[in-house]
Amino acid sequence: MGARLRVFLTQQQDKTLLKLRIAAVPQKVKDRAEVIRLNAHGWYVEKIAHFNWTPQTVREVLHKWSHLGMEGLWESPGRGAKPKWKESDIEFLKECLKNEPRTYNSLQLVQKLEKERSVKLSADRLRRILKKKGLFGNEREKVIKENKTP
């Protein structure tokens, strides 16, 4: 068993952490705020850890609070993989799809993007990006509607 960790909160800090329960913040931030409040109200690390956390995670949250304060509740910027594409690459594909008379599948678009812009993406990833932007999957419906006979 490690040394007992204990944080002390002012009334203002306790109120602020309590307000985070209903605020529009990520769930992780709410959980971390609750861990800090429980510890300040006398709960030990091991007892708090029974809520699906390991004791080490609880200790990390308490140490971050001690060193960083409120900033320690949020994730550090820069986590996760950075996108390999830029918005200008998607604009380039939009122009290609709009101006060229032929149709492309996602594999052909990936090859065009790699050849013209030196951006390497998988066909599946490009398909997800285009679908999210609303640029993929609607053209067939337009063609069918235009070709229907009344």
Query: Angle at Cα 113 formed by Cα 91 and Cα 127, nearest 5°?
Result: 75
Count of H-run helices and E-run strands, the chain: 8, 0
Question: What are the backbone dihedrals phi and psi of residue 72, each rounded to the nearest 5 degrees, phi first?
Answer: -70, -10
What integer pLDDT is reported at residue 49 of this predicted model? 87
Q: What is the DSSP letter of 5?
A: P
Q: What would you measure as the largest C-alpha separation in the chain, in angstroms?
A: 80
pLDDT above 70: residue 146: no
- pLDDT of 90 reads 87
Nearest Cα residue to 136 out of 86, 97, 91, 84: 97
d(C-alpha 107, C-alpha 124), whole Å: 8
- Looking at the predicted structure, is the pLDDT value of residue 67 above 80? yes
Lowest-pLDDT range of 45-49, 80-84, 125-129: 80-84
Confidence of residue 111 (pLDDT cuts 50, 70, 90): very high
Residue 29 · residue 20 · CB < 8 Å: yes
In whole angstroms, what is the distance from residue 105 CA to residue 111 CA? 10
Q: Summarize the confidence of residues 43-54 as an average pLDDT.
A: 85
Indicate whether 17 pLDDT > 80: yes
Q: What is the pTM of this model?
A: 0.54
